[in-house]
Structure 1
Amino acid sequence: MLGTFAGALGARQVSFDNLEADTIGEVEDEGKVLVIKRIKHSMRLSASEEDRETVERVLRVYADSCPVARSLKGSIEITSELDLTPV
């Protein structure tokens, strides 16, 4: 997911540094079987304030082009959030 997000930013010529992510899976017990129900993807990066609108737009749409997100769509809820530090 991080690679797809980075690639989408690059395709839009957004310069950024220090792209990092934490991903947390939330699990529930279903009939004595642990099942992943939700994935929370929290990303951080440094970019120009001028690019904020583009970065936020990419955040809203990149999952539609991500092989992992598309494979899990409908079975596991995936959310992405971003902390942008202006440079």
Structure 2
Amino acid sequence: MAEHLFHLKANWPGLRNDVGSIETLNLKTKVSIPVEMDGPGIGTNPDEMLLGAAATCYIITLAAMLERSGIEKTSLTMESVGVVDYTNGVVTYKKIIHKPVLVLHEDTSEDKKRIAERLIMKAEDSCMISRALKGNVEVTVEAIIQ
């Protein structure tokens, strides 16, 4: 597979507590420092975008793995939490917790349920964004399978 380049244009017209913007092929939004870190809280911020990248990569990877394994689902939803420590002016992105809820068809075999459980954990190791974060940000999964 050849390299693929993603492009982002950023504009930051002011100082720390001003509002900038970013634009990619499919995303255009304002950005600023969140209120929790004494910023204006307008638009999104790097912390939310990192969480969004990790969460979407994980859930897409999991869906693809379930599909390849022939496991049909009724639904797949998820909440993800980013844990950021802001102590003495030092910001550290400590942890991301994915909380997927996978609802399988009622007639799903026990064997396929076990495979789904394994895939829920394996998807985290297979996700490109999680691999990029490895060694810097802990990423965990707390799944519910119904």
- The answer to which structure has the higher helix fraction is 1
In structure 1, the partner of 2:69 is 12
The answer for unaligned runs of 5 or more in structure 1 is none
**Alpha-carbon deviation of 1:34?**
2.1
Tell me what 1:27 maps to: 84
**One-letter amino acid of the counterpart of residue 20, structure 1:** T
Alignment of structure 1 residues 1-87 onto 2, 5 Å: 1-29=58-86, 31-47=88-104, 48=108, 50=110, 51-85=112-146
Stretches of 4+ moved more than 6 A in 1? none
Q: State percent identity of aligned pairs.
A: 28
Which has the larger share of strand?
Answer: 1
| Bigger relative contact order, structure 1 or 2 (CA pairs below 8 A, ≥6 apart) | 1
Structure 2 stretches lacking a partner, 5+ long: 1-57
Instruction: Count how many residue pairs are aligned between Structure 1 and Structure 2.
Output: 85
RMSD in angstroms over aligned alpha carbons? 1.4
Q: TM-score, normalising length from structure 2?
A: 0.54
TM-score by length of 1: 0.87
